[in-house]
Amino acid sequence: MCGICGFVGNKTGFLNKKNLDIMLEEINHRGPDEKGIYFKNGAAFGSQRLAILDLLKGVQPIHNENKEIWTVFNGEIYNFEELREELLKKGHNFYTTSDTEIIVHLYEEYGENFASYLAGMFGIAIWDEKTRKLILARDHLGIKPLYYTLKDNTIIFASEIKALLKNSIVETDLNDKKLYDFFSFRYIPGQQTIFNNIYKLLPGHILIFSDYKIRIKQFWEIPWNENYTRQTEDFYGENIYSIISNSIKDMLKSDVPLGIFLSGGLDSSIILSESSKLYGKIKTFSVAFEKPIKPVKKTEYDELQNAQKVAKYYGSEHYEYIIKPQEIIQDINKIIWHLEEPLADPTAIPLYYLSNLTKQQGIKSILSGEGADEIFAGYTIYEEPKIIDRYKKIPEFIRKKILNPFILSLPVSYGKDFIRRTNIPLSERYKGVGMTFRKNEIFALLNKDLIKQIEPREIDPYIYYVLKMIKDKDNITQMLYFDQKIWLPEDVLTKADKISMAHSIEMRVPFITKQLVEFTSGVPSDLKYKGNCEKYILRKAFSKVLPKFIYKRKKNQFPIPISILIEGEYKNFVRDILLSQQTINRGYFNKLYIEKLLNMPYKKRYHNRQIWLLLVFELWHRMYLG
Residue 586 CA: distances (Å) to CA of 188, 443, 445, 446, 625: 21, 17, 14, 11, 11
Three-state secondary structure call for residue 216: strand
Neighbours of 177 (CB within 10 A): 16
List the helix and strand counts (H, then E) for the chain: 29, 17
Q: Is 2 a catalytic residue?
A: no
DSSP 3-state helix, strand, coil percentages of the chain (rounded to 5)? 45, 15, 35
**Residues 612 and 566 sit within 8 Å (Cβ to Cβ):** yes
Burial level of 421, CB count in 10 A (0-12/13-18/19+)?
middle
**Residues 70 and 500 sit within 8 Å (Cβ to Cβ):** no
In whole angstroms, what is the distance from residue 177 CA to residue 342 CA?
Answer: 15
Neighbours of 538 (CB within 10 A): 29
Beta bridge partners of 7: 44, 156
Q: How far apart are the first and last CA of the chain?
A: 32
DSSP calls for 217-251: EE-----TTS------HHHHHHHHHHHHHHHHHHH
Q: In terms of Cα–Cα distance, which of 604, 330, 371, 610 is closest to 507?
A: 371
Q: In terms of Cα–Cα distance, which of 175, 140, 179 is closest to 161?
A: 175
In whole angstroms, what is the distance from residue 574 CA to residue 269 CA?
Answer: 36
Q: In terms of Cα–Cα distance, which of 497, 572, 124 is closest to 343?
A: 497
In whole angstroms, what is the distance from residue 228 CA to residue 232 CA?
Answer: 12
9 dihedral zone (left: phi>0; alpha: psi -120 to 50; beta): left
Contacts by residues 429-434 (CB-CB < 8 Å, ≥ 24 positions apart)? 430/467, 430/478, 430/479, 430/482, 431/184, 431/185, 431/459, 431/463, 432/185, 432/482, 432/483, 432/486, 432/487, 433/379, 433/381, 433/483, 433/487, 433/491, 434/185, 434/186, 434/187, 434/345, 434/487, 434/491
Q: Is the dihedral of CA 485, 490, 492, 496 positive or negative?
A: positive
Neighbouring residues of 490: CB distance < 8 A, sequence distance ≥ 6? 142, 185, 187, 188, 189
**Residues 566 and 574 sit within 8 Å (Cβ to Cβ):** yes
What are the φ/ψ torsions at residue 222 (nearest 5 degrees)? -65, 125
What are the φ/ψ torsions at residue 38 (nearest 5 degrees)? -125, 125
In whole angstroms, what is the distance from residue 422 CA to residue 384 CA?
Answer: 10
Q: Which of 2, 5, 156, 339 is catalytic?
A: 5
Q: In terms of Cα–Cα distance, which of 321, 322, 239, 307 is closest to 269?
A: 307
Instruction: Report the side by side order of strands in the sheet with 62-63.
Output: 62-63, 69-77, 120-128, 133-138, 205-210, 213-218
Q: How many CA atoms lie within 13 A of 456 on its CB side?
A: 4
Cα Rg of the chain (Å, integer): 24
What are the φ/ψ torsions at residue 363 (nearest 5 degrees)? -90, 135
Active site residues: 5
